[in-house]
Structure 1
Amino acid sequence: MEYILHLFILICFYTLLSQSLNLSAGFTGLISLAHAGFYGIGAYTTAILSTQFGFSFWLSIPLAMFISGVISLIVSLIALRTVEDYFIICTMGIQVILSSIMNNWMDLTRGPLGIPGIPSISFFGITLDSKMSFLLLSLFFVALVWFVLRNVSKSGFGKTLLAISEDEIYSQSIGKNVYLSKTVSFTLSAMFAAIPGTLYAHYISYIDPTSFTVAESIFVLSIVIIGGLGNLTGSFLASAFLVLLPEALRFVGMPDNIAANMRQIIYGLILVAVMMTGKNGVKELFTSKAKRTA
């Protein structure tokens, strides 16, 4: 039962990451490979504040979001002046820089040694040290972020972002401030990415740079693509599928070493199929198939 709860918590983390990336990638069309870096900023901020200065989770999470937002704002002011393809490369470079800082700034991050002893979250004097209580907290943040992003997508600002993703030149021609809208979208996306970072740090109680690599950014982006760009519910479904896939392969009796490789093959095939059918993820894949068979 404990392991099942652990898997559900991981699904919540990846749902939060993919939902936050959907704000920039799905709503605005800004494909970023730096999301794991902002995720790591959230984790390292709360780890340093809690272990060295005694900050609680409830104080460190807004500070983590603020720091992630400031760094992403600086990045966006530079990266968004490039064209789309170069923006992706630029964000990958930022991810590499952030990973290098986590690995080499020994005085701050302890490098490959990581930061141990991150305390559990307390809520009105009650320590959330059980997996069930942590799952409930994670579900609360999933629902909160989903609610906020859902309302953003339906607002005037959200419609501007969608217009930019569809036709940037036309959006400029009707008076939309494309550069400002992209900057705000990218910054907010990074700020929301800090939330699962703080949760992850307190849940594992230890962090190191291996959790915040380029590979992790690619994995989160893949969740967004498989779930459907701009589809918040799809982010949850894709997160659940990709987290539970290895367990399903083990359940049918496949050895761990084969299951790991098979997971990558299945995951890659789905990603290729989704990319070939359109931006609406697996939903469009099945819709296209249904139309062909009708």
Structure 2
Amino acid sequence: MAQALPRMLKDAALTAFVAAALGIFIVGFRTVDVGSRTGLAFDYEFVDLAVALAIIFLGRLGLSLAAAGQRWPALALGALMVAAGVSPLRLPSGFLHWFVALGGVLLLVRAAWPWADAAVSAAGHTSGGKLVRDLGGRWLGWVLLVVAIGLPFSPLADQKTMDLGVLILTYVMLGWGLNIVVGLAGLLDLGYVAFYAVGAYAYALLSTEQGLGFWAVLPLAGMMSATFGILLGFPVLRLRGDYLAIVTLGFGEIIRLVILNWFDLTNGPAGIGSIPGPTLFGAVFSETAPEGKQTVSQMLGIPFDSNHRLIFLYYVILLLALITNLFTQRMRRLPVGRAWEALREDETACKALGINPTNTKLTAFAVGAMFAGFAGSFFAAKQRFISPESFTFIESAIILAIVVLGGMGSQIGVVLAAVLLIGLPEWFRELGNYRMLAFGLAMVLIMVFRPRGLIGHREPSIRLHPAPSGGSG
């Protein structure tokens, strides 16, 4: 221990130095508006930076101690950091208290992790542990469904929560659609946002130019996106891995640039506005109805409330997401679903088994794109306005991150990852500039502790049960 301590101190100091070099211009300086005449000026936050560097130094030292098997010194250092974070001594920034305490908690978890991991693993092999694991995997989805259905009737159902719920469910549906292509078929698609855009613009154009309603355009938008999915599938039939990712990325950018420059059709960068929203049996969600129509309040005989439209949109996207999930689960058990998984495992072996990889890829692209079209149509109906800025590459990256972090091929994992990736930045919005730091920290922790995703294990598509005893086999 005495011989390794200087090396640990040197490593911790080097880590703090690198953090200082990277963070001095991000955290140490901040531009503030000091008036219309003076303009912008620099505000220095060197004290915050120094406290953060001290925490990084102590945290790195504690991690080195824990890795070397020195559990108790690492636990003591973590407890000291937690005590400093919750102490009544005021730090320059209120957020630094949380930062210090969080660093101490993470260090305590890391120091106790080998023992806790071994204990959990041993308990998981017992009969009780297997029962808890099986019940959790079986009932978690139903619990989440009950929570989702009852959310609008809970005390937490304010406008902000419902709007966030609609956003999360939209990304859950997109994640389930991309999970067919990436998680089941093993085709890395970086241009998934293109199908999302096709569905959105299909509804926007058909509703504003042709006067079609949401429910009439919804299947048409899905069909148009599926057609584009097939068009994407043909050029990539012989491509795998990185080459496939590059081509799909280019396809997504092509669609965005076409939308941006085809002014006569898409109105270019100005976008399309005044898009009608979905109706309930022909009734509109507004205080006053157009001529020849009635409002939902008049049809149901209830007072008008602006939240009624948001609750209706919430249940619409929940229904669309559940249809996506049920369809995917059903397809997994059909021959085409098993062909997707065979293609993901080994395309050469897939050919040797007599499976046509061309048809398998095209069906995966088409089905995944169809659900993206449904989600895009809903997005346009909810927002009432769309523009090319809503369909950039970052959207594809977020959807792909939801699939990967949730666990490739895991439906429940996609839900948990969408709640984390979409909800976390909103929940930490009060932290201002530090909310993306918390977001990045959460992503790093997931990759460290759950490298295969939040739910790396999923149930097999088909179980091969052994033959009954005494049978012919």
Q: Highest CA radius of gyration, 1 or 2?
A: 2
Query: Which letter maps to 1:277?
Result: P
Q: Cα deviations across residues 31-89 of structure 1 (Å, max 9, x unaligned)?
A: 10111110010000000010111011111111111111112211111122223221110
Structure 2 CA distance for aligned equivalents of residues 195 and 267 of structure 1:
30
How far apart, in 2, do the equivalents of 1:49 and 1:283 lie? Answer: 40
TM-score of the superposed pair, with normalisation by structure 2: 0.57
Call closer, same or farther: CA 1:210–1:31 in 2, change over 3 Å.
Answer: same
Q: Distance in 2 between matches of 1:227 and 1:283?
A: 6
In the alignment, structure 1 residue 269 sits paired with structure 2 residue 426: no
Q: Report if aligned partners of 1:225, 1:271 keep a CA contact under 8 Å in 2.
A: no
Offset of residue 156 of structure 1: 1.7
Deviations 1:128-149 (A, max 9, x none): 5610111011111111111000
Describe the SS at the equivalent of 2:421.
Answer: helix
Question: Does the C-alpha gap of structure 1 residues 267 and 100 become closer, same or farther in structure 2, counting only changes over 3 Å?
Answer: farther
1:142 pairs with 314, 317, 321, which one? 321
Cα deviation per residue 1:224-270 (whole Å; 9 max; x = unaligned)? Answer: 001111111111111111111023324xx52x22213432x235425
* Matched residues, number: 278
Q: Name the Cα RMSD after superposition.
A: 1.7
Matched, 1:258 2:434: yes
1:238 to 1:197, Cα distance in 2 relative to 1, 3 A? same
Identity %: 31
Offset of residue 214 of structure 1: 0.9
1:207 aligns with 2:379: no
Separation in 1, partners of 2:314, 2:270? 28
Counterparts of 1:266 and 1:109, CA distance in 2:
39
- 1: CA distance between counterparts of 2:202 and 2:351? 37
State yes or no: 1:12 paired with 2:169: yes
**For structure 1, which segment, 89-98 or 161-170, has the greater mean C-alpha deviation from structure 2 after superposition?**
161-170
Residue 82 of structure 1 aligns with an amino acid whose one-letter code is: L
Shift of 1:116: 0.4
**Is contact 2:193–2:393 with CA below 8 Å preserved after alignment?**
yes
Where does structure 1 lack aligned partners over 5 or more consecutive residues?
286-294
Q: Report the counterpart of residue 111 of structure 1 in structure 2.
A: 268
Residues 111 and 90 (structure 1 numbering): CA distance in 2 closer, same or farther, change over 3 Å? same
Equivalent position amino acid for 1:141 in 2: L
1:27-46 counterparts in 2 under 5 A?
A: 27-46=184-203
Judge conservation of contact 2:410–2:456 (CA < 8 Å) in 1: no
Question: Alpha carbons of 1:52 and 1:180: their partners in 2 closer, same or farther (altered >3 Å)?
Answer: same
Worse overlay, 120-129 or 40-49? 120-129
Q: Superposition pairs for residues 213-228 of structure 1, below 5 Å?
A: 213-228=392-407
Question: 1:176, 1:260 → 2: CA distance?
Answer: 45
Matches within 5 A, 1:136-215: 136-215=315-394
Distance in 2, Cα, partners of 1:114 & 1:246: 26
* Alignment pair present for 1:282 and 2:457: no
CA distance in 1, matches of 2:217, 2:211: 10
Is the Cα contact below 8 Å between 1:128 and 1:134 reproduced in 2?
Answer: no
Q: TM-score, normalised by structure 1?
A: 0.90
Report what 1:84 is aligned to: 241
In structure 2, C-alpha distance between the alignment counterparts of 1:61 and 1:113, rounded to whole Å: 24
Q: Deviations over 1:188-216 (max 9, x none)?
A: 11111101100010001000111111111
What is the CA–CA distance in structure 2 between the aligned matches of 1:261 and 1:97, rounded to whole Å?
Answer: 32
